[in-house]
Amino acid sequence: MINIQSLKFSYRPNRPLFEDLSLRLEAGHIYGLLGKNGAGKSTLLKQIAGLLFPDGGACEVTGYKTAKRQPAFLREIFLVPEEFNLPKISIRTYVKANAPFYPRFDEQAFYSYLKEFAIPQDQQLTNMSYGQKKKVIISFALATNTKVLIMDEPTNGLDIPSKSQFRKVMAAAVTDDKCMVISTHQVRDLDNLIDSIVIIDDHKIIFHQDVGTVTDKLSFKLLGQLDDRLPILYADSSLRGHSVIMKNENMEQSKIDMELLFNAILSNRQPIQELFN
Amino acid sequence: MEFKDSQAIYLQIADYICEQVLLNKWQPEERIPSVRELAVQLEVNPNTVMRTCELLQQQEIISNKRGIGYFIHPDAVKKIRQFKKDSFISNELPSLFRSMYLLDIDVDELKPYYEKFKKSNFR
CATH number at residue A49: 3.40.50.300
Residue in A closest to B48 by C-alpha: A195
My answer on whether A192 and A233 are in the same domain is no
My answer on whether A197 and A215 are in the same domain is no
* Residue B123: predicted pLDDT: 66
Q: Is residue B96 part of a domain?
A: no
Q: Is residue A206 part of a domain?
A: no
Beta bridge partners of residue A151, listed in sequence order: A80, A182
* Residue A44: predicted pLDDT: 95
Q: SS3 for A157?
A: coil
- Return the CATH number at B24: 1.10.10.10
Q: Which of A253, A256, A258 to mutate to test the interface with B (most CBs of B within 10 A)?
A: A253
Residue A252 has pLDDT above 80, yes or no: yes
* Residue A14: predicted pLDDT: 85
My answer on whether A145 and A270 are in the same domain is no
My answer on whether A117 and A220 are in the same domain is no
For A269, other C-beta atoms within 10 Å of its C-beta total 16
Residue B122 has pLDDT above 80, yes or no: no
ipTM over 0.90: no
Cβ–Cβ gap A171/B46 under 8 Å: yes
- B-chain residues near A255 (CB < 8 A): 3-9, 12
Task: Give B20-73 pLDDT, tens digit per residue.
Answer: 998 889 999 999 999 999 999 999 999 999 999 999 999 899 999 887 899 999
Q: Is residue B114 part of a domain?
A: no
When pLDDT is averaged across residues A132-139 and rounded to a whole number, the result is 94
Of B5, B7, B102, the CB nearest to A253: B7
Cβ–Cβ gap A172/B43 under 8 Å: no
Task: Give A172-219 pLDDT, tens digit per residue.
Answer: 999 999 999 999 988 888 989 999 999 999 899 999 999 999 999 999
For B107, other C-beta atoms within 10 Å of its C-beta total 8
Percent pLDDT > 70 in chain A is 100
HSE-up of residue A26 (Cα within 13 Å, Cβ side): 7
Q: How many domains does chain B have?
A: 1
My answer on whether A189 and A236 are in the same domain is no
Question: What domain range includes position A148?
Answer: 2-201
Query: Distance between CA B67 and CA B34 in Å, rounded?
Result: 11
Q: Is residue B1 part of a domain?
A: no
Q: Is residue B84 part of a domain?
A: no
Task: Give A181-193 pLDDT, tens digit per residue.
Answer: 999 988 888 989 9
Query: Distance between CA B38 and CA A162 in Å, rounded?
Result: 19
My answer on whether A127 and A59 are in the same domain is yes
pTM: 0.85
My answer on whether A118 and A193 are in the same domain is yes
Q: How far is B75 from chain A (nearest CA, A)?
A: 26
Q: Which of A193, A219, A244 to mutate to test the interface with B (most CBs of B within 10 A)?
A: A193
* Residue A104: predicted pLDDT: 95
- Say how far residue A63 (Cα) sits from the centre of its chain: 21
Which one has a higher pLDDT value, A186 or A58?
A58
Q: Is residue B47 part of a domain?
A: yes
- What Rg do the C-alpha atoms of chain B give, in angstroms? 18
Residue B82 has pLDDT above 80, yes or no: yes
> Which uninterrupted H or E stretch holds A31?
strand A29-34
Are residues A247 and A231 in contact, defined by beta-carbon separation less than 8 angstroms? yes
Mean pLDDT rounded to a whole number for chain A: 92
My answer on whether A96 and A69 are in the same domain is yes
